[in-house]
Amino acid sequence: MKLYVNGCSFTHGHLPVDHPERIVDPTKPDQPYDWVWASRLKSHFDEVVNEAWRGCGNDRIVRRTINYLSKVPDPQNWTVIIQWTSIEREEWFDNDLGVWFNQVPHRVIYDDHAWQKVDLENKDRIDARGKTFEPFFALGMTDEHRLINLCKNIMVLEYFFQQKGFGNVFYTGMSLNCMLPYHFEILEESIRRNHMIDDQYISKDSPNKHILEVLYRSVSPGRFLQPISAVSRNNTLSKEDAHPNSEGHRLFYEYILYELERRNIL
């Protein structure tokens, strides 16, 4: 059995800027660290492919997942775990360089492919272009719009996995905010209380409520696992940083291993 995972820094691995193991040469993108949860699973699989990248958005996760898995000849021998990331992240394509760039609300994120194309001559142009997207990505999109985009990304992968014959597919996330079940739990609680509550993205009176429910109900609930931050609990790099440390990744590795074993995948 082989394992494919994709996600953001919660799957790639994250270290403080001054950490001695952190790679600082942008022309040599660092590989996922040995202590992250996906790397810990290598002893249980014949092969583990981790295409996660720190700071990336869900569009990048979908694009790279399809690009890689569309070329494998044996989908029945693969387990896939997709770690959804912050729904505030987007991406855009640069025609001159022919690569994608991820956009968090406050800055541009260079993909691993982008690092190989960007040099000092065009870095200022890329950074300046990214700033033109900041107002739209930060203010021009509503929470419901972002959730609809997450649903679309899930639907794209669901269709792809079905067509290609990938049966062992699971979805986790960096936090509860990346998980569709969580948002519908919040909505149901809001309806019971008859008022909006904290962290609510979907209004009970929203014109988008029906389409969001239709998309969500079309995904098997068994595909959704707990998010990494919920499992790793307080094992973070610092009080200010939600990224799991090595112990947090170990806890999530044990959780994933348990879920795969109880489903008789391992």
Task: Tell me the pLDDT tens digit for each residue of 98-147.
Answer: 999 998 888 898 888 887 777 767 888 888 988 888 887 767 678 888 88
Amino acid letter for position 196: M
Residue 166 pLDDT > 70, yes or no? yes
Q: Are the CB atoms for 252 and 242 separated by under 8 Å?
A: no
CA 70 to chain CA mean position, Å: 19
CATH code of the domain containing 257: 3.40.50.1110
**Distance separating alpha carbons of residues 103 and 127, to the nearest angstrom:** 10
Q: What is the mean pLDDT of residues 34-55?
A: 95
Domain enclosing residue 21, as ranges? 2-262
At 71 the pLDDT is 97
Q: In the chain, what percentage of residues exceed pLDDT 90?
A: 52
Looking at the whole model, is its pTM more than 0.85? Answer: yes
At 52 the pLDDT is 95
Number of domain units in the chain: 1
Q: What is the mean pLDDT of residues 2-17?
A: 89
Q: What is the mean pLDDT of residues 27-46?
A: 87
Give the pLDDT confidence of 220-248 residue by residue, as tens digits: 999 999 999 999 988 888 777 789 999 99
Give the pLDDT confidence of 63-75 residue by residue, as tens digits: 999 999 999 999 9
Q: Are the CB atoms for 100 and 93 separated by under 8 Å?
A: yes
Q: In the chain, what percentage of residues exceed pLDDT 70?
A: 93
**Distance separating alpha carbons of residues 161 and 158, to the nearest angstrom:** 5
Q: CA angle at residue 246 from 225 to 150, to 5 degrees?
A: 35
Residue 199 pLDDT > 90, yes or no? no
**Least confident among 18-32, 44-58, 143-157, 249-263:** 18-32
Residue 21 pLDDT > 70, yes or no? no
Residue 172 pLDDT > 80, yes or no? yes
At 107 the pLDDT is 86
Which residue bears the tokens 């999109």? 141
Q: What is the mean pLDDT of residues 22-40?
A: 76
List beta partners, residue 82. 6, 171
Which residue bears the tokens 């001695």? 20
At 120 the pLDDT is 62
